[in-house]
Amino acid sequence: MTIRKSKEYTYYACSSHVRKRGCNNKHTIRKDILEEKVITEINNRQDTKIDKLNRKYIFDLINMIYLNQDGSIKIEFKRK
């Protein structure tokens, strides 16, 4: 995913679509909404609760975040 900015918001978008590399997934998601969903998913899956994102911690927990064709989000967590 890559970051795109508008006047009001920051968005994540499929980097292959933005670079015209064969992906037709043109959906984007606002950064604040995605981060809220990631925090919720993490808090649902572990005992230690977090309230804001720490990039290294998130990187250590998550394999991949997918923005599906229908605009939904899929988050894959690393197995411990």
DSSP state of 4: E
Confidence of residue 79 (pLDDT cuts 50, 70, 90): low
- How is residue 61 written in tokens? 């927990």
- Full DSSP string of 29-74: EEHHHHHHHHHHHHHHH-SS--SS--HHHHHHHEEEEEE-TTS-EE
pLDDT at position 2: 78
Per residue in 13-70, pLDDT (tens digit) is 877 776 777 777 777 788 888 888 888 877 887 777 777 777 777 667 676 776 676 7
Cβ atoms of 10 and 30 within 8 Å: the answer is yes
* Structural domain harbouring 18: 2-77
Count: domains in the chain: 1
Q: Which stretch, 1-5, 61-65, 73-77, has highest mean pLDDT? A: 1-5
Distance CA 80, CA 48 (A): 15
Q: Is the pLDDT of residue 80 over 60?
A: no
How much is the CA Rg of the chain, to the nearest whole Å?
13
